[in-house]
Amino acid sequence: MGNLSVRNLEAWYGAQKALLGITAEIPEKQVTAIIGPSGCGKSTFIRCLNRMHDTLPGAKVSGDILLDGKSIYDQHPVFLRKTVGMVFQKPNPFPSMSIYENVVAGLRLNGERRKAKLRAAAEKSLRMAALWDEVHDRLNYSGVSLSGGQQQRLCIARALAVEPSVLLMDEPASALDPIATQRIEELVTALKKTYTIVIVTHNMQQAARIADFTAFFLNGELVEFGPTSEIFTKPKDKRTEDYITGRFG
Amino acid sequence: MKKKRPRASWGDRILRSASGLTAVLVVGIMIWLGWEMFVSSRQSLHQFGWAFLGGRVWDPVHRIFGALPFIYGTLVTSIVALVIAGPIGLGVAIFLSEMAPATVRSVVGFLVELLAAIPSVVLGLWGIFVLAPFLGKVVEPWLGRRLGFIPLFHGAPVGVDLLNGGLILAIMILPTIASISREVMTAVPTVQREAALALGATKWEMIRIGVLAYAKSGIIGSVILGLGRALGETMAVTMVIGNMPNISPSLFSTAYSMAAVIANEFTEATYGLYLSALMEVGLILFAITLLLNIFARLLVWSVARGPKGGHLV
Ligand SMILES: Nc1ncnc2c1ncn2[C@@H]1O[C@H](COP(=O)(O)OP(=O)(O)O)[C@@H](O)[C@H]1O
Ligand SMILES: [Mg+2]
């Protein structure tokens, strides 16, 4: 569960084309990193995977994306997003909600009202996000009372609570300090047992540390996609080599 | 060694004392105003005491004065206005900030703001010549037939009444509520909306948990501002409310408001007690507005605090 197959995906912002026909197989229960210089289309790409791109006025896509063999365009985006969760660059807990309410927000949207179920799901998700020990005695505090790193793990817990099969992360650690970043990286590695993870990062060391597969994007094109070790040790494309050796970007 | 203060601190000092002075001035004027009104209404305060607040009779010929009909008229018209303009204003704000395409947004936004530019006397004229006949001949008889069993809609339809006053006020405060709420909603960060969408929220659910929850203290603020405007409005209300000091549970009854009675009878107040009674009505209006604002502060403050340790906008 959670295998993504991207077929000739193109994406536009109005008249500007941001993705020029991407084809890739993202394997299930692995970490796939998306790397590339700023503005190359990394965010656009993963925002297509849960159809968040479609919500922007003037935005357009063509091509197809299959999730476990079924086109994501054949189901309503509201249902798709329950299967394909997302974590954003800047932590964005709901400030009007407590820690607990943040975690169960998605379940409540699904109509779950039973207290016991919600409690259990909240604890499970917070444990998976490695946040439970830090917050279990103050679940009724505001989500924004936490530190930046904790807020980001709260957002991960919030995404996990609806039990998706794919988790998309758009530079989830770029706003965090090194220690918080390390915790997120450990978390990603632990979560891949259960989830397919697609993570955007502009930090190549991070990709090398946590990703099983790496995709290198440049100017809206997927230049190279393969096992992380191969991308970093023997890239096939000259442009990949230039990028990872720091000759541009 | 004595350190020399840098020269820039002179500017700081001047700015600080100037802004301090203006702050004191504003508070001072408020207190002075209240005090003056208190002094001017002494005669009435002395004569009627607390009974003035509950007095239902306003009879200058027999020197009997009670403020209740005016308090009632002001509060009821304001509440009617709020009940009508609150939901509509919020709806317009949601439409403009979350749904309308850019062109519609700017056109409708402009029209709503244009509504605020209509002079209240013009609205009053419209209320007399257009709204009153329409209410009296169409709306009120219909409401009476359907909902006449509720005292609120019971009685002979006139058209010049509490309902008309409330509707005119609703039109006047709608732009305030709509445009301020829209500003607040537009200021909600996109990542809040996307956080909701990413969890599988529908459009409406996104608006509820991503936008309204985030903006609620500002929305409450806009409603309170509208209410403040409704309480003090004079001209338009006095033109359509009938100017009779009645207290009737029916919205189809003529009534009077505090601001209206002061404006209308000030020139006719031929003896001291009469003038003093009018002053006391003004004092009550002042106090109600003040209390409302304090209450609003507390409300916004408690809402803005959200859950423990949090802080909204
Ligand atoms: N909301 C938007 N409207 C218009 N153009 C956009 C928008 N978001 C991104 N772009 C453009 O699309 C291209 C890819 O952007 P993005 O996917 O955000 O890059 P990355 O995440 O790799 O930095 C860039 O040229 C950027 O300017
Ligand atoms: Mg990006």
Domain residues of chain A, as ranges? 4-93+165-248
CB B269 within 8 A of CB A59: no
Mutation target among B104, B191, B192, B199 for the A interface, most CBs of A within 10 A: B199
Q: Using CA atoms, how far apart are residues B302 and B39, in angstroms rounded to an integer?
A: 36
Options 3.40.50.2000, 3.90.1280.10, 3.40.50.300, 3.40.710.10; CATH for A4-93+165-248 is 3.40.50.300
| Contact at CB, B199 and A82, closer than 8 angstroms | yes
Once rounded to an integer, what is the mean pLDDT over residues B126-140?
Answer: 95
Instruction: Measure CA A230 to chain center.
Output: 23
Q: What's the gap between Cα A76 and its chain centre? A: 20
Residues with a CB atom less than 6 Å from ligand 1? A 13, 16, 18, 36, 38-44, 56
Query: What is the pLDDT at residue B102?
Result: 86
**Do residues B237 and B223 make contact, with C-beta atoms less than 8 angstroms apart?**
no
Residue B51 has pLDDT above 80, yes or no: yes
User: What are the helix (H) ranges across A63-147?
Assistant: 77-83, 99-109, 115-128, 132-135
pLDDT means over runs of 10, chain A (249 residues): 93 95 95 95 96 92 95 95 95 94 95 93 94 94 91 95 95 91 93 95 92 96 95 93 79
| Res B293: pLDDT | 86
- The stretches of chain B forming alpha helices (DSSP H) are 8-40, 42-48, 51-54, 68-94, 102-117, 120-126, 132-134, 140-147, 162-186, 190-198, 203-206, 213-232, 235-240, 258-265, 272-305
Q: What is this structure's pTM?
A: 0.87
Q: What is the pLDDT of residue B4?
A: 58
Neighbours of A246 (CB within 10 A): 8
CB A21 within 8 A of CB A10: yes
Which residues of A lie closer than 8 Å to B, measured between beta carbons?
50, 52, 55, 57, 78-79, 81-82, 85-86, 88, 90, 92-99, 101, 105-106, 109-110, 138, 140-145, 155, 158-159, 162
Angle at A144 between CA A139 and CA A145, to 5 degrees: 65
Confidence of residue B313 (pLDDT cuts 50, 70, 90): very low
pLDDT given at position B267 = 92
Q: Which residues of B touch A159 (CB under 8 A)?
A: 198-199
Nearest Cα of chain B lies from the Cα of A75 at a distance, in angstroms, of 12
B167-200 tens-digit pLDDT: 999 999 999 999 999 999 999 999 999 999 999 9
Q: According to the model, what pLDDT value does residue B11 have?
A: 86
- Chain B interface disruption, residue of A50, A86, A96, most B CBs within 10 A: A96
Q: What are phi and psi of A86, to 5 degrees?
A: -145, 140
Q: How far is A145 from chain B (nearest CA, A)?
A: 5
Selection from A126, A188, A124 nearest residue A151 by Cα = A126
User: Does residue B59 register a pLDDT over 90?
Assistant: yes
In this structure, is the dihedral angle defined by the CA atoms of residues A119, A121, A125 and A130, taken in order, positive or negative? positive
**CATH T-level topology, domain B18-304:** MetI-like fold (1.10.3720)
Task: Using most ligand atoms within 8 A of CB, pick from A40, A48, A55 the residue to mutate for ligand 1.
Answer: A40
As a whole number, mean pLDDT of residues B56-64 equals: 94
Say whether pLDDT at B310 is over 70. Answer: no
